[in-house]
Amino acid sequence: MDSAAQLAAIAGGDRAALRALYDAEAPRLFGIALALLRDRDRAADALHDGFLNIARRAGQFDASRGAASAWTGAVVRHAALDIARRQGREIPTDDPALGDIPVEAEALTQVAAADDGRRLRDCLLALEESRRRGILLAFVHGLSHAQIAAKLELPLGTVKAWIRRGLAQLRGCLT
């Protein structure tokens, strides 16, 4: 199935195209939401919210910036993260000493979906294993710093420092 063509049809109001896209992509997108939320009901809510956003914003998809599957994945991922935030899973701060430096998730998604995705993968592979793992657990799996620390059985400050340094290295590598 050509997801980009389906998104173009959805942007034109084609409800059958939305249904076809849902039938083809829902299992994968549900898996993304479930990995982030670890709760089937909340993952189903995220999938629902994500498809509402896909239907509303299909006209914003630009095939020159990346694959349709990456775009739909990002939409559902953001819906899942919104649900997690609403339920207080993590409250980020603006205090750089705590390591919760705001990062534009949209920018990371755009880089991963574009031709620069290869550069991002190469830069991630160049990181120390601990930094790479922390970044992936945070930005791909949606875990908070505290959850990562518990999962890795490490002090919270260590995890925050690894992620902060890893992000700095990624920025340097990508520029």
Please list the pLDDT of the chain residue by residue as tens digits (175 residues): 689 999 999 999 999 999 999 999 999 999 989 888 888 898 999 999 999 999 999 999 998 888 899 899 999 999 998 888 887 544 454 544 444 444 444 444 554 555 556 787 888 888 888 888 888 888 777 778 888 888 888 888 888 888 988 888 988 887 7
Q: How high is the pLDDT of residue 152?
A: 86
End-to-end Cα, the chain, rounded Å: 35
What is the reported pLDDT for 77? 93
- Cα 25 → chain centroid: 16
Predicted confidence at residue 107, as pLDDT, reads 45
Q: What is the pLDDT of residue 11?
A: 95
Measured CA to CA, the distance from residue 130 to residue 150 in angstroms comes to: 14
Looking at residue 97, its pLDDT comes to 47
Residue 144: how many CA atoms within 13 Å on its side-chain side?
A: 15
pTM over 0.95: no
Q: Domains of the chain (ranges plus CATH)?
A: 1-89 (1.10.1740.10), 94-175 (1.10.10.10)
